[in-house]
Each structure stands twice: as C-alpha cells, then as structure tokens.
Structure 1
Amino acid sequence: MSVAALLLLSDGRLPAGGHAHSGGAEAAVKSGRVHDTPSMAAFLTGRLHTTGLTTAALAAAAAGGRFATDALDEAADARTPSPALRATSRRLGRQLLRAALAAWPDPGLDRLRAAHPGGAHQPVVLGATARAAGLTPAQAAAVAAYESVNGPATACVRLLGLDPYEVTAVLARLGPALDAVAAEAAAAAGGPDLDHLPAASAPLLDLYAEQHSSWKVRLFAS
C-alpha cells in the first residue's frame, strides 16, 4: 500500500477534470435547495449515501480485480439512469485514465483504454487506477466516497461565496459517515457477484443533471 499514491489520487489538483464539475451542486443552488452551509451539509450527506456509496462500491470492485472491467462498466451504466451523467462519468473517466497512465503505467490501464476509447465510467477507472497504484479496494472506496462530497463542497464555495473554513468543518464532521460508507462499499465489492453492488438512487440529482446540461450559461460542466 502506498500512502503517497492514496494522497495523490484523492488530491483535487490531480489533472483529472474534477475541478470543472459541481456534482449537481450548481443546479441545486439555482433551485434554492442549497443556499447556505447547513443546506449544503444536507446535500452532501444525501449525495454521500446515494451516489457516493454506489461509486465507491464500483471503485472498490475494480480495485479488487475479481470482476472484468467491461462487466463493471456495464454495471456502472445500469446504475446511471441520466444520459447527461453517463456522458459526464465517461468524460471524467477518460481524463482520469490519461493522468493515471502518466503516473502509474500499467498493462491493465492500457487494456481499459483500448476497450473504451470513448472513456470508461469514472469509478471503474478510479478503481483500476487504485489497483495500478498498489492501493486496496477499501482505499479505492475511501477515495471515491471523499470525491463524492469534496467536489460539490468546493463548488459551493465558488457558487455561494461560503466561508471555506465552515465548509471544511462540514467535511470534517462528515468523516465518520465517509468511513462508514467506504467500509460498506468495500464489503459489498467483496460479494459473490456484481448484483451485490449497491444501486443507491438519487433521482433529484438525475433531474438536476438533465436540466443543467441544457443551460446555455453555467459555471461548471455538470
């Protein structure tokens, strides 16, 4: 296990495109559902236990290497009903894979790129990258869970001008929930088949994604 690789993979400055996406926060802000720090905290909590859990389990399964990445990509597709979110996930997967191949050259990553020239789903690439970097499925799940809240939290600072110290405090208080979600995701990834992976639903995020994709003026790509 490489602590340095874990820190690098979870660093928002990794050139994998995540900084350009709000994870649904921009649409939630425009709708008025997220308007201050407490409402942001509620949004992040809901996102963690739905999208966060699902993506963390997919990442853990890919990091474990027990399932074919093609099957995992199909599982990710089935768990992403919004066409806009599917496109975003594949775009982010393509960008992450480019960074991963530069940092941790690996035959498995080469095969993933060849099999999905348009981009595999981001959590599948994240798990494959974690495996190439020598990380465990549990660590891959932790990175995915953290990404599910850190990106939207950072976006809320820009969108609402929130106090970054208060936002950081919200993320810190989410620590126990992040650990629990990552542990649940890693346990599910150790199941006998892909049907045991979570498929937690967040219909409002799907609706937000479709609405956001039609906006002519927006700060974030999604």
Structure 2
Amino acid sequence: MHAALLLLADGRFPAGGHAHSGGAEAAVRAGRIHDADTLAAFLTGRLHTTGLTAAALAAAAAAEDADPAALDADADARTPSPALRDTSRRLGRQLLRAARAAWPHPALDLLHSTHPRGPHHPVALGTTARAAGLTPADAAALAAYESVNGPATACVRLLGLDPYQVAAVLARLAPDLDAVAAGAAAAAARGTLPAASAPLLDVHAEQHRSWKVRLFAS
C-alpha cells in the first residue's frame, strides 16, 4: 500500500471536499435519503453512474501519456449541470493547490497554468495521483471512494445518522467500489471512457445552488 494513497483518501487532506455533500443535501430535502437504507441506495446509484465516470477520467489522467486538456474537455462534456461544472472546477482548483504543495511536479504546474480557474476534479485527482507516484488503478479507486464517502459523511451531519451505521453502509459497498474502480481503470486503458450519468443529481444540483440557506456548498 502506497502511503500517498492513504493521504489522498483521508478526508483531512486540505482539498475542500468536506464542504460538499455530493448531492446528498438536496436528496435529503427531497426525502430521497432519510435513513441508512435509503443512503445505501443513493450511494450505490451515485457510485455506478457519476462515480464510474469520474473514476475512469481520473485513471486516464494518471497515465504517463495523459492529455489533460483533452480529458478536461471530456469531463466538461460529461457534466451537463452548470452548477456541477462549477463545483468540479472549484474542487479541482483546491485539490491542485494542496497537491502542488505536497508533491511538486511539472504535470501539476502545467495543469495549473492551463486551467487557472481550476481543472475538473477527476483530472486534477488523476494528475495528482501520478505526481504522487500512484497508478491509474489507484486513481480510479480514489475517485470511486470519494464519490460515496463525501455524501455518506455529509448525511451524518444532515440527518444525525449513527456514524457506525454509515460506516457499515460504506463497508457493504466495498465489493462494488472495487468492481467500479477496476472497470473504470480498464476502460481508461482501452481509451473508451464511460459517460454514465445521473440526471436527478444534475436537477438537484441546480436546485441546491438557488437555496439561500444551506449547510454544504453543493
């Protein structure tokens, strides 16, 4: 196990993810998440759609021959919601700032100069993984994990769910996480990036951005 993988997966790494719910806040208000079972259903759907897409983009960006500009355009095309595009770039910018301090690398500098407003988060994550000496498979695993861990953690705050139950939900998702990460890495290696999406997440993101009072940024 590479220590950098643990560091990047740690929610205390200063990349800004703690301020975002991954769509969970809007789903809670809509009544779609209200207990551990509905959280598990939400996370499963998110993992197999936007999680899969993000994992493949991250794996592709972690490859030595990656074209980050093309991958950023691919990520943009796979993010129809303006609110989610803004969130992805904000998170990418924050991750890039932390990554350049932790693992100085020409690829990170190039990404920063090419996308001063921030690259899409999966592209930043994959490039960071490469700078940290990780593999495309590692990058895919990180992106898949982030797609469920953030919303799960947010629901502890949003609903007061038992954190032990939430941890159990994530533990039961482990086989799916492994499968999605492996499939995403294989797709990236073939050059056939998936475009799985969850339209309701897009709708909720646009609604969430209009709220005057909210606990999370997205």
TM-score, scaled to structure 2? 0.99
The corresponding residue for 2:125 is 126
Match of residue 110 from structure 2: 111
Rounded Cα–Cα distance in structure 1 between residues aligned with 2:40 and 2:51 = 14
For 1:17 and 1:145, locate their aligned partners in 2 and report how far apart those are by CA, in whole Å. Answer: 17
Distance (whole Å) between structure 2 residues aligned to residue 143 and residue 17 of structure 1:
15
| Whole-angstrom distance in 2 between the partners of 1:74 and 1:37 | 36
2:65 is the alignment partner of 1:66: yes
- SS, match of residue 73 in structure 2: helix
Q: CA deviation at 1:3?
A: 1.3
2:81 paired residue number: 82
Task: List, as ranges, runs of 4+ consecutive aligned residues in structure 1 with deviation greater than 2 Å.
Answer: none
1:56 is matched with which residue? 55
5+ residue gaps, structure 1:
none
**Per-residue CA shift, 1:156-200, capped at 9, x if unaligned?**
000000000000000001000000000000000001x4xx10100
Q: CA RMSD in A?
A: 0.7
Count of aligned pairs: 218
Cα distance between partner residues in 1 of 2:64 and 2:27? 36
AA in 2 matched with 1:219: L
Deviations 1:11-46 (A, max 9, x none): 111100000000000000000010111000000000
1:36 corresponds to: 35
1:164 equivalenced with 2:163 (yes/no): yes
Measure the CA separation in 2 of the matches of 1:202 and 1:16: 24
Structure 2's unaligned 5+ residue stretches are: none
Map Cα deviations across residues 97-144 of structure 1 (whole Å, 9 max, x no partner): 000001000011000000000000000000000000000000000000
- What residue is the counterpart of 1:188 in the other structure? 187
1:212 is matched with: 208
Amino acid at match of 1:11: D
* 1:204 aligned partner, one-letter code: L
The 2-side partners of 1:136 and 1:3 are apart by 10
* Secondary structure of the corresponding residue to residue 126 of structure 1: helix
Q: Which amino acid aligns with 2:144?
A: A
1:66 Cα deviation from its structure 2 partner: 2.5
- After TM superposition, the structure 1 = structure 2 runs for residues 129-144 of structure 1, keeping only pairs within 5 Å, are 129-144=128-143
* Equivalent position of 2:217 in the other structure: 221
Q: Structure 2 CA distance, aligned partners of 1:201 and 1:117?
A: 27
Offset, 1:84: 0.2
Question: Partners in 2 of 1:65 and 1:119 — Cα distance?
Answer: 21
How far apart are 1:201 and its partner, in Å?
Answer: 1.2
State the AA in 1 paired with 2:77. A
Residues 76-106 of structure 1: CA distance to partner in whole angstroms, max 9, x if unpaired? 0000000000000000000000000010000
Tell me the equivalent position of 1:11.
Answer: 10
State the partner residue of 1:199: 195
User: CA–CA distance in 1 between the matches of 2:119 and 2:68?
Assistant: 9
